[in-house]
Amino acid sequence: MSEREAKFPALLAELRPHCERLIAQYERKRSALLPIVHLFQEREGYVSHEAMRAVAAMLDLTPAEVESTVSFYTLFFRRPIGKYLIQVCRGLSCSINGAPEVMARCRERLGVGHLGTTADGLFSYEEVECLAACDRATCAQVNLEFVYDLTPAAVDAMLDDLRAGTATVRPLVQTDPPGAIWSIRQDEQVATGTKALGSRGVTNPNNAGGVGDAAGLIMLDRIVNKTVSFHEATRERAVRDSRAVRDVVEEEEAQAHAGH
Amino acid sequence: MPVTKVLTDGIGEVDLRDLAVYRARGGYRQWERAVRELQPADVLAAAETSGLRGRGGAGFPTGRKWSFLPTDKHVRYLVCNCDEAEPGTFKDHMLLEEAPHLVLEGILLGAYGIACHHAFIYIRGEFKRGYEIFVRALEEARQAGLVGSNVFGSGFDIEVTAHRGAGAYICGEETGLLNSLEGKRGEPRLKPPFPAIEGLYGAPTVVNNVETLAYLVPILEKGANWFASVGTERSKGYKIVSVSGHVQKPGNYEIALGTTVREIIEIAGGLRPGRRLMAVQPGGGSSACIFEEHLDLPYDYESMAKAGSMLGSGAFVVFDDTTDFVAAAYNMVRFFAHESCGQCTPCREGGHWIETVLARLVRGEGIEGDDAMMLRVAGTITGLNLCALGDSIEPFLKSVLVRFPDAFKARIPSAAPASAVAS
């Protein structure tokens, strides 16, 4: 049992009155889910399994319901992260005003990429969607505190300050050592048997958990443009899916021509 | 037309976060007048007469939205949407951090207008500081007797709850927001029933944007006709425009609707010296670009729609001739692909696939026909989704692809002339 796990019952007892006040704000208990998870994350640095189970018990939900909800939101971390979370805006307004250079400098200085944590556990780095501060491009957040008008030189100064402990931003709580990547990767989930193999090879799965197999686009096209036929054998589809969409479409068109 | 100061009045000059400062400038006087002297129907009438339309993106007439609430059900909710995440929009962020009492007074007036006793404000998870500022303002207002039971001795009870999200663009969609507020995944709901009939906890609910509700304060103060006298025929009043991109003085500018696109660019300091305007995205990430020939159009709901775009949330992004529109299209589509909640196949799959194709175009590894294929897929996605997110993938992409076809062709090695590949 880790130190954090050992301390969890005491933390739960401490936070329970606060949680009950949060629950009382709403007509239905479940509405307090996000605020309560925020509360636990602030104290543990991430949303631990113990926290999710405790929240489930408080709100009369199953742990799966809590985990499903937590996994929907990008600001809930289900793995430990660094003491300083640097989130650089990759929105369009920032991107045309220097964000690529800022991001390149962050990656270079930190030695990690998007969703990575440095080996010393100090920094986690993420490139995020528009942060609603487009007039001060390039913007970023450090532990959710805004940083404006970033340039590569400003990145250097900011990282030096954070490393030296002279920055005003408070470090995040860290109760467990972070791994190199905090996002829960699908191949890992497939390997541990918690997720079915459905989206192998998709490099950038979306929030849905990344279905994104080639069959999707073909199906999409058919739903609208062609008569949908669901009779094709799975084996045939598997063969088709391994090829480029373009090839499949061209083949089908060629077949249609040949048939007439 | 010059910049005006209605909601933005005092911002950057005095500390409107201070309750005493806000009240000294007439703050909460409309709230007091409403509960003491007006009926909810009067507030509703003011909203209708003013011609105020939703400032969050859809532009739906506010008064009409309220009037959809069934009259026979007494439990109803007001939810203020402060999940501002439309790319290029940063007005609600400013109002929340700089004028939290104005935001709160707008919520209170809206709640009174629909006669509800529990209002919520859903604040974007990233606005942690804004949330803390608002919660402090709310506590101050509660202690001053402005929020709670029997406000101003009027017998009217009102509770306001601030709720912080946790990172999801889709929670700005009103039914996604309601699910998130109910502690669920922020997946949009099938409509109808619309929130006015079945919203939060199944009860009739109005969801209004921060800026929309805030405008109720000056509308009640100066009169609905004052607001309706400004603007164009069907776009009344003022609007905060978030100008960013390639302008010299990006920022939030409050203007009368109907100010021309050219004037807005000038208000924001114009382009950098020696640069040429290529495009403007006038209504957030979901809107199509407009171009040079649209510069003298009035910036209002109808004119933007007529030009094939929309006014949306008032995010106004300017692009000059240094812009790589292939990279810009990739950026925009990647955003929607990333933020898709995944419920609807066209949006979940289509966005991801267009992103993949655009990624290879950005690398200069396009395949002949990619441009036509993207248009076909984007067109396929539109109209087949539960919410507007899927439909938002097409407009920007299509507008720049049709306008700058050569920029895309230059990224397809076999189709491009040798000179284009070399550059």
- CATH number for position A27: 1.10.10.1590
The pLDDT confidence band at residue A181, using thresholds 50, 70 and 90, is: confident
Whether A92 has its CB under 8 Å from any CB of chain B: the answer is yes
Is the pLDDT at A251 greater than 90, yes or no? no
Q: Do residues A64 and A95 both lie within one domain?
A: no
C-beta atoms of B244 and A129 within 8 A = no
pLDDT at A189: 65
Partner residue facing A212 (CB), from B243, B349, B369? B349
CATH 1.20.1440.230 range(s) for chain B read 325-422
A67 and A89 together in one domain: no
Give yes or no for B332 touching A (CB within 8 A).
Answer: yes
- In the prediction, which pLDDT does B39 show? 96
pLDDT band for A253, please (50, 70, 90 cuts): confident
Are A96 and A149 within one domain?
yes
Q: Are residues A52 and A98 in the same domain?
A: no
The CATH 3.10.20.600 domain(s) of chain B lie at 238-320
Q: What pLDDT, on the 0 to 100 scale, is given for residue A223?
A: 56
Place of tokens 């220097």: A98
Q: Inter-chain contact B164–A34, Cβ cutoff 8 Å?
A: yes
Over residues A202-213, the mean pLDDT reads 37
A255 within a domain of the structure (yes/no): yes
Per DSSP, what are the bridge partners of residue B53?
B61
Please tell me which residue of chain B has the smallest CA distance to A66: B184
B189 vs B344: CA distance, rounded Å:
11
b/e sequence A123-161, b meaning 16+ C-beta within 10 Å: bbbbbbbbbbbbbbbbbbbbbbebbeebebebbeebbee
Name the CATH superfamily housing domain B19-226. Answer: NADH-ubiquinone oxidoreductase 51kDa subunit (3.40.50.11540)
What's the token pair of residue B15?
Answer: 């500390």
Does A183 reside within a domain? no
**Is pLDDT above 80 for A231?**
no
Among A164, A198, A227, give the residue marking a domain's end.
A164
Tell me: do A100 and A143 sit in the same domain: yes
What is the model's pLDDT at position B371?
93
A90 is a domain residue: yes
Type of residue at A249:
V
Q: Do B250 and A135 touch (CB under 8 A)?
A: yes
A&B contacts, CB < 8 Å: 207
Any idea which residue has 């400013």 for tokens?
A: B94
CATH number, domain of A137, equals 3.40.30.10
pLDDT at B191: 87
* Interchain proximity A221–B380, CB inside 8 Å: yes
Residue ranges, chain B, pLDDT below 50: 420-423
Residue A95 placed within a domain = yes
Q: How far apart are CA A255 and CA A232, in angstroms?
A: 16
Residue A40 domain-assigned (yes or no): yes
How far, in Å, CA of B389 to CA of B420, rounded?
Answer: 34
pLDDT of residue B2: 81
What ipTM score was computed for the predicted complex, to two decimals?
0.94
| A222 near B CB under 8 A | no
Residue partners of A193: CB distance under 8 A and separation at least 6 = none
What band does A170 get if pLDDT is binned at 50, 70 and 90? very high
Residues A93 and A156 in one domain: yes
Question: Shortest CB distance from B244 goes to which of A68, A74, A93?
Answer: A93
Class of domain B325-422 (CATH, top level) = mainly alpha
B residues 97-136 lying closer than 8 A (beta carbon) to A = 118, 124-129
B230 interfaces chain A, CB cutoff of 8 Å: no
According to CATH, where is 3.40.50.11540 located in chain B? 19-226
Q: Letter for the amino acid at B8?
A: T
In this prediction, residue A208 has a pLDDT band, given cuts at 50, 70 and 90, of very low
Q: At what angle do helices B91-98 and B128-143 cross, to 10 degrees?
A: 40
Q: Decide if A143 is inside a domain.
A: yes
- Alpha-carbon distance B146 to nearest alpha carbon in chain A (angstroms): 18
The CB density around residue B150, as the number of other CB atoms within 10 Å, is 12
Candidate from B88, B126, B348 with C-beta closest to A93: B88
Chain B contact for A28 (CB, 8 A cutoff): yes
What is the per-residue DSSP string for chain A? --HHHHHHHHHHHHHHHHHHHHHHTSSSGGGGHHHHHHHHHHHHSS--HHHHHHHHHHHT--HHHHHHHHHH-TT--SS---SEEEEEE-SHHHHTTTHHHHHHHHHHHHS--TTEE-TTSSEEEEEES--S-GGG-S-EEETTEEE-S--HHHHHHHHHHHHHT-SSSPPPP-SS---SB-S--HHHHHHTTSS-S--TT-SS--TT-----HHHHHHHHHHHHS-----S-HHHHHHHHTS-HHHHHHHHHHHHHHH-
Count CB neighbours of A231 within 10 A: 6
Amino acid at B145: G
Please tell me the predicted confidence (pLDDT) of residue A254. 78
Q: Which of B348, B386, B392 to mutate to test the interface with A (most CBs of A within 10 A)?
A: B348
Distance CA B213, CA A101 (A): 39
Chain A contacts in chain B segment 372-411 (CB below 8 A): 373, 376-377, 380-381, 384
Write out chain A residues lying below 8 Å of B381, CB-based: 220
Among A25, A129, A221, the residue with its CB nearest the CB of B339 is: A129
CATH 3.10.20.600 fits B238-320, yes or no: yes
Q: Do A72 and B185 touch (CB under 8 A)?
A: yes
pLDDT at A248 (0 to 100): 57
Contact A137 B244 (CB under 8 A): yes
Contacts of B340 in chain A (CB under 8 A): 206-208
Domains contained in chain A, number:
3
> Considering the domain boundaries, does residue A123 fall inside one?
yes
Scanning A33-52 for CB atoms below 8 A from B yields 33-35, 37-38
Both A153 and A222 in one domain: the answer is no
Per CB-CB distance under 8 Å, the chain A contacts of B127 are 132
- The whole-model pTM stands at 0.89
pLDDT of residue A224: 59
Q: What angle do CA B57, B62, B66 make, to 5 degrees?
A: 125
pLDDT recorded at residue B366: 93
For the record, the structure tokens of B79 come out as 């939810």
Q: Of A164, A179, A201, which residue sits at a domain end?
A: A164
Q: What is the 3-state secondary structure (H, E, C) of chain B?
A: CCCCCCCCCCCCCCCCCCHHHHHHCCCCHHHHHHHHHCCHHHHHHHHHHHCCECCCCCCCEHHHHHHCCCCCCCCCEEEEEECCCCCCCCHHHHHHHHCHHHHHHHHHHHHHHCCCCEEEEEECCCCHHHHHHHHHHHHHHHHCCCCECCHHHCCCCEEEEEEECCCCHHHHCHHHHHHHHCCCCCCCCCCCCCCCCCCHHHCCEEEEEHHHHHCHHHHHHHCHHHHHCCECCCCECEEEEEEEECCCCCEEEEEECCCEHHHHHHHCCCCCCCCCEEEEECCCCCCCCECHHHCCCECCHHHHHHCCCCCCCCEEEEEECCCCHHHHHHHHHHHHHHHCCCCCHHHHHHHHHHHHHHHHHHCCCCCCCHHHHHHHHHHHHCCCCCCHHHHCHHHHHHHHHHHCHHHHHCCCCCCCCHHHHHC
Show Cβ contacts of residue B303 under 8 Å, excluding neighbours closer than 6 positions: B232, B297
The whole-number pLDDT of residue A187 equals: 63
Domain of residue A118: give its range: 84-164
Say which residues have a Cβ less than 8 Å from residue B377's Cβ, sequence separation at least 6.
Answer: A217, A220, A221, B350, B353, B354
Q: Is residue A77 part of a domain?
A: no
Distance from CA of A170 to the nearest CA of B (A): 13
